[in-house]
Amino acid sequence: MPFSISTVDGVIRIVLSGTLAAEQLVRMANALVEVEAVCHVCPHRVTDLTGVTRFEVGFDEMSELARRRREMSPANPIRSAIVASTPVQVGFARMFQTLNDHPRITLRIFSDLDAALAWIAEAPADSGL
């Protein structure tokens, strides 16, 4: 699974494509930790799953990702948008959303990038929400 992480207009953008396997999911999560570690204010983020064509992860891997996220408290409240367009992508996004019970993260799922970015833009930059 190739992935890219960039910051565009103050928003962390994570783009996934190809096959999503457990090892790559861990690598992507580790890379995100490194990005967040250098941020004084943790930016909102958009994760784009629309390029994922195959999922080789299940509940255990998604639960572990959510557990890691809970342990790494962002410096401020953040919005996290997941873009998913197929039923399988939406299913995995919903699984992560259900498992993600971090009090400083508000997570929503969108069918297109423009809607996700519009929701992120509604949030005051300093409060995180």
CA distance 43 to 12: 6
Tokens 């639960």 sit at which residue? Answer: 63
All residues at 6 or more sequence positions from 98 whose CB lies less than 8 Å from its CB, including other chains? none
* Residue 19 phi, psi (nearest 5): -95, 125
Name all domains of the chain by residue range, CATH numbers in brackets: 3-122 (3.30.750.24)
The whole model's pTM is what? 0.89
Contact call for residues 47 and 83 (beta carbons, < 8 A) = yes
Q: How confident is the chain (129 residues) per 10-residue block, as mean pLDDT?
A: 87 94 87 85 94 92 82 86 97 91 91 97 64
For residue 126, what pLDDT is reported? 52
d(CA 29, CA 12): 13
Q: For residue 128, what pLDDT is reported?
A: 46
